[in-house]
Amino acid sequence: MRNLVRSLALVAVVFLGSQYVSAQQKIGHVNADEIFQMTAEFKTANEQLRTLNDTKTKELQGMYEEFQKKQNDANEKLRNRSEANKTTVDAELQTLGQDLQSMEQRIQEVQRVAQEDLGKKQQELLTPIQTKVMNAINAVAKEKGYAYVLDTSNGNVLYFQGGEDISADVKTRLGIAANATPAAPAVPPAR
């Protein structure tokens, strides 16, 4: 989606700079990310992602707390080691060290899997919404006769003056209330 928008923006700038765009061609602009975050589907997907993220975080916190407990036990055994119990304590410490190393590897694996799961779920939930928003933008652009529509949300449009903001028309097409506010993403976007 971003590559498409960047390509459109680049094409528009090249044509404008080269004086190839005739005065009859209309240029519009829209903040696609803001509209995307205003959709009801995004808000639902966002809650699902937040719930999944919270579940994975709690799981990792439980594992980390168990790791910390074992590490504290090992430190306590080390502090209480004397010449009389050195052999026994050293054997226990070696076992605890192996357990800690194994736990650390499990924690890292669970973190990796959690990030993958979140990324997959994010892709699964957000891709259809992105498609829906892009289809609405394209439909409005065609209806209104725009030759180019620039996306102001991604920062690639360094300057624009004039043109028409078609955001309200796109929101109407998507059934978004005029006074709706964007929802903040529950988790950072997968890259």
**DSSP, res 30:** E
Q: Which two tokens stand for residue 188?
A: 């950072």
Question: What distance in Å separates the CA atoms of residue 116 and residue 114, rounded to the nearest whole number?
Answer: 5
In the chain the first and final C-alpha atoms are separated, in Å, by 13
| Cα angle 189-165-46, degrees, rounded to a multiple of 5 | 25
Phi-psi region of 175 (alpha: psi -120 to 50; beta: other; left: phi over 0): left
What would the pLDDT profile of 23-73 be if each residue is shown by its tens digit?
A: 568 888 899 999 999 999 999 999 999 999 999 999 999 999 999 999 998
Q: Which two tokens stand for residue 12?
A: 């528009």
169 vs 109 pLDDT, higher one: 109
pTM: 0.68
- Give yes or no for residue 20 having a pLDDT over 80: no
Q: Label residue 153 by pLDDT band (50, 70, 90).
A: confident
Q: Which two tokens stand for residue 141?
A: 């652009």
Question: What distance in Å separates the CA atoms of residue 105 and residue 139, rounded to the nearest whole number?
Answer: 51
Stretch among 14-28, 85-99, 156-170 having the lowest mean pLDDT: 14-28
Q: Which two tokens stand for residue 57?
A: 């975080």
Query: In b/e form, how buried is each residue of 161-170, taking b as 16+ CB within 10 angstroms?
Result: eebeebbebb
Residue 35 near residue 54 (C-beta atoms within 8 A): no
**DSSP, res 1:** -
Residue 150 near residue 8 (C-beta atoms within 8 A): yes
